[in-house]
Chains A and B, each alone.
Chain A
């Protein structure tokens, strides 16, 4: 197995793994906040659920990124070290950004859930603020798409 292939595998692993972990942690943070808020106001469960689900997308970007890269890799007969490095870089970027943005998005959602639970009408504003951290995972996903086009 060549270094290029090892680098590419590592990149794909980081891409799916880290982005998925970010989403898992993010939705768990939202879920925990929901359980707390339900004790104060159980009527707003629909809002809590939507906000808790928001950080679930980073893991999907990781998976979609893997899918794009995988499609390109299957067309390449022999991977060069440059191409392996590109896949590693894309995986590291999307994985790390997905991990941290998922966690932070979960925290923003959780604060909004607590606010709604306490009787404040902040659903719409939390929705808007909670997608702020996600932009960077989107940018990393778009970068993965551009990198895969250049492979």
Chain B
């Protein structure tokens, strides 16, 4: 259900506006009504800080070593304020060091090469040129004509130096090589320094990792906190030449006492109102156990409009059943149920709701899978065990499952129409409930007639349904408009058949999953008999991998397809309009600091 809301309008002298916002923030229950969207662009800077923090966090997590570097030193006076500079420096070092290592590798081949000596030679009019040539390709004539000194050989090439009194290198059938700008010693010294700095930075990040994460979290919260303050402040309406400001907000009815006590204590003038149909109060879902577990699924699609019914508790039982049908295997449901039970102590508090939902889905998947006659790919209808003989009357073969899927679909469509009748009646009055009621009569008459015969009762049901749909599709319109709209709506009967056929997926997904499970067993059994020693090993491996993959695919499908049946078929027939804004009260986001 949706928590009932009250609207408050509070008047405040302009100098006390900040105080009012602080009071509301402390209470943490008022959802400020949004009248303007960032009219003066106040939030742009805060949003850019938020983005920057997010980038810093990503960069930090990427650069953080997996374990402590035992030989690395720590940065002296590590300062969290300089985190970005450290991250930037480390990023640059991680690019520079590999480049220098390449240079080192290159220069190492030139032995005790010293760039200073080469420079000194140049000043005396002697130039050194470096060449490489394929092994055995050095022409003997070159040695006679030039002062050549072989340097080293790799597997494919030999390198040599040529000393000449000309700056222009002589033309030889050999590859010219660049003269290194620095000597090996210089490069090695720099590399050593950079590596020390890199390791110190990485080790410091590792040592202070928890402080850094906390620092980023706090700044992020600070930013969010300021953003909501700026947003709230922007919604103050200026009255009486700016001397008086007005703030509109929504509050759950059961929290009204808290707000009124605080406003009275500070002598603020306020008025409260119940929401009228033209208002758009924020939506706070307040469901009990089963419904509450399914709220994340409702949030995945859209929140209901404040004035309509929250369909969460109404689709929840169907969703459980659909999941079981689509998973189609009692063994998978049982296994996942125990796995979830096993991890219950390790589930973080924030994920307890999702865990409870998953547990409920698997708890229902087990009996539904048994009714569908499959247990880890084993066809229970063909298995002759004493216990199963007693259960067999409750099991469904493929043909019965096909029919069951359609029957469940029809039930959900009827249930949706019933909710639509209640919803329309509550929101707009009884005349608006006439059209969905007409559809119920029409579908009942047609369905009954199709299954038996179109006798008088079925005809009366059908034609009364048609009359209600035609006359009450738009109760506000004139008689011609009503009939026109009603006839157009009657065309929508094709949609009901489409919706009904859509429920075939319950049968098909379950069948496909159980067939794949059977195939895994079949392959595993053939492996078992192939070799007396390795056969049992690969038999187990095949079962684990095969059923593991099948469970993943089946679970994904068993979650997604019921979502579609809920959000498309059920929501459509229940007349869901959606579009509600989530209830987000102004509140302290920063953790309280003890004085």
A: residues with CB less than 8 A from B are 42, 50, 53-54, 56-57, 60-61, 63-64, 67-68, 123-125, 127-128, 130-132, 134-135, 138-139, 141-142, 145, 149
Verify B399–A128 contact, CB threshold 8 A.
no
Assembly CA distance A108 to B511 (angstroms): 26
Which residues of chain B are within 8 angstroms of A142 by Cβ–Cβ distance? 402, 504, 507-508
Stretch of B37-45, B81-89, B331-339, B559-567 at the chain-chain interface: B559-567
Whether the pair B557, A57 counts as a contact (CB closer than 8 A) is yes
Known contacts: A128-B301, A128-B568. The answer to whether A61 contacts B563 by CB under 8 A is no
Query: Smallest CB–CB gap between A118 and chain B, Å?
Result: 14
Chain B residues with CB below 8 A from A132, complex form: 564
Q: Report chain A residues within 8 Å CB of B505.
A: 135, 138
List the 3 closest A-B pairs by CB distance, nearest first. Answer: A124-B300, A64-B512, A64-B515
Whether the Cβ atoms of B502 and A135 lie closer than 8 Å is: yes
Q: Is the CB of B300 within 8 A of A127?
A: yes
**Taking the complex as formed, is B290 at the interface, i.e. its CB lies under 8 A from any CB of chain A?**
no
**A-B CB contact pairs (8 Å), 12 listed:** A50-B556, A53-B556, A54-B556, A57-B512, A63-B519, A124-B301, A127-B563, A131-B560, A134-B561, A141-B508, A141-B512, A145-B508
Min CB distance A7 to B, Å, is 23
Nearest Cβ in chain B — how far from A11, in angstroms? 18
Chain B nearest CB from A95 CB (Å) reads 15
A125, A131, A139, A145: which contacts B301 (Cβ < 8 A)?
A125
The answer to whether B516 has its CB under 8 Å from any CB of chain A is: yes
The majority secondary structure among interface residues of chain B is helix
Residues of A within 8 Å of B564, CB to CB, are: 127-128, 131-132
Q: Which of A67, A124, A145 contacts B563 (CB 8 A)?
A: A124
B529-573: which have CB < 8 Å to A?
Answer: 553, 556-557, 560-561, 563-564, 567-568
Q: Which residues of chain B come closer than 8 Å to A139, judged between CB atoms?
A: 501, 504
Instruction: Knowing that A63-B516, A68-B515 touch, tell me 9 more A-B residue pairs with CB under 8 angstroms.
Output: A54-B560, A64-B511, A64-B512, A125-B300, A128-B563, A132-B564, A138-B505, A142-B507, A149-B399
Contact B516 A64 (CB under 8 A): yes
How many angstroms between the C-alpha atoms of A60 and B557 in the bound complex?
Answer: 12
**Residues of chain B within 8 A of A68, CB atoms compared:** 515
Closest-CB distance, A60 to chain B (whole angstroms): 6
Q: State the CA gap A134–B568 with chains docked (Å).
A: 14
Partner of B516, one of A42, A60, A127: A60
Say yes or no for B509: interface residue by CB 8 A criterion.
Answer: yes
- In the complex, the chain B residue whose C-beta lies closest to that of A130 is B560
B407 in contact (CB, < 8 A): no
- Alpha-carbon distance between A64 and B398 when the two chains are bound, in angstroms: 13
Residue of chain A at shortest CB distance from B58 = A42
Contact A138 B509 (CB under 8 A): yes
Q: Which residues of the other chain, B, contact A57 by a CB distance below 8 angstroms?
A: 512, 553, 557
User: Are B553 and A123 touching (Cβ within 8 A)?
Assistant: no
Docked Cα-Cα span, A128 to B301, in Å, equals 8
A99 to B240, CA, bound (A): 68
Shortest distance between the CB of B480 and any CB in chain A (Å):
36
Task: Specify which chain B residues have a CB less than 8 angstroms from the CB of A134 in the assembled complex.
Answer: 561
Contacts of A54 in B (CB 8 A): 556, 560
Given contacts A64-B515, A67-B515, A145-B402, contact A138 B504 (CB under 8 A): yes
Bound state CA distance, A130 and B502, in angstroms?
A: 14
**Measured CA separation A61–B504 after assembly (Å):** 14
Q: Residue of A at shortest CB range from B507?
A: A142
Q: Which residues of A contact B299 (CB under 8 A)?
A: 124
Chain A residues with Cβ below 8 Å from B508 are 61, 138, 141-142, 145
Chain A nearest CB: distance from B491 CB in Å? 21
Q: Which residue of A lies closest to B564 (CB)?
A: A131
Taken residue by residue from 285 to 301, chain B's Cβ proximity to chain A (1 for < 8 Å, 0 otherwise) reads as 00000000000010111
What's the nearest-Cβ distance from chain A to residue B512, in Å? Answer: 4
Residues of B contacting A60 in the complex (Cβ-Cβ under 8 angstroms): 512, 516, 553
Question: Quick one: closest B residue to A125, CB to CB?
Answer: B301
Taking the closest CB of chain B, its distance from the CB of A37, in whole angstroms, is: 15
Alpha-carbon gap, A56 to B556, bound state (A): 11
Complex: how many Å from CA A53 to CA B502? Answer: 21
Contacts of B557 in A (CB 8 A): 57
Q: Contact between B561 and A131 (Cβ–Cβ < 8 Å)?
A: yes
Which residue from chain B places its CB closest to the CB of A124 in the assembled complex? B300
Residues in A whose Cβ lies below 8 Å from that of B553: 53, 56-57, 60
In the complex, the answer to whether A145 meets B398 with C-beta atoms within 8 Å is yes
Q: State in angstroms the CA–CA spacing of A131 and B556 once bound together.
A: 11
Contacts of A64 in B (CB 8 A): 511-512, 515-516
Contact with A along B504-529 (1 / 0, CB 8 A): 11011101100110110000000000
- B254 vs chain A, min Cβ distance (A): 29
Task: Select the residue from B399, B512, B516, B568 with max chain A CB neighbours within 10 A.
Answer: B512
Which B472-516 residues have C-beta < 8 A from chain A?
Answer: 501-502, 504-505, 507-509, 511-512, 515-516
Q: Is the CB of B300 within 8 A of A123?
A: yes
Which residues between 288 and 339 of chain B lie within 8 Å of chain A, taking CB atoms? 297, 299-301
Given the complex of chains A and B, what is the CA–CA distance between A53 and B511 in angstroms? Answer: 19
CB distance from A28 to the nearest CB of B (A): 17
**Shortest distance between the CB of B524 and any CB in chain A (Å):** 16
Known: A63-B516, A67-B515, A141-B512. A128 touches B567 (CB 8 A): yes
Residues of B within 8 A of A135 (CB): 502, 505
- Best-buried of A63, A128, A132, A134 by chain B (most CB within 10 Å): A128
Contact residues in A for B297 (Cβ distance below 8 Å): 124
Q: How far is the CA of A53 from the CA of B509 in the complex (A)?
A: 15
- In the assembly, what is the distance between CA of A124 and CA of B561, in Å? 12
**Contact (Cβ within 8 A) B300 A67:** no
Interchain nearest-CB distance for B513 vs A (Å)? 9
**Residue ID in chain A nearest B561 by CB atoms:** A131
Give the distance in Å from the alpha carbon of A107 to the alpha carbon of B557 in the complex: 18
Q: How far is the CA of A52 from the CA of B398 in the complex (A)?
A: 30
For the complex, what is the distance from the CA of A131 to the CA of B399, rounded to whole Å? 24
Whole-angstrom CA separation of A19 from B556 in the bound complex: 19
> Judging by beta carbons under 8 Å apart, are B560 and A127 in contact?
yes
- Which residues on B sit within 8 Å (CB–CB) of A56? 553
Given contacts A54-B556, A132-B564, A142-B507, contact A61 B501 (CB under 8 A): no
CB distance from B103 to the nearest CB of A (A): 30
Closest to A54 in B: B560
**A39–B404 alpha-carbon span in the complex (Å):** 46
Closest to A146 in B: B402
A contact residues around B568 at 8 Å (CB): 128
A46 → chain B, closest Cβ, in Å?
12
Contacts of B399 in A (CB 8 A): 149
Please give the distance in Å from B509's CB to the nearest CB on chain A.
Answer: 7
Interface residues in B27-43 (C-beta closer than 8 Å to A): none
Instruction: Please report the C-alpha to C-alpha distance between residue A145 and residue B502 in the assembled complex, in whole angstroms.
Output: 16
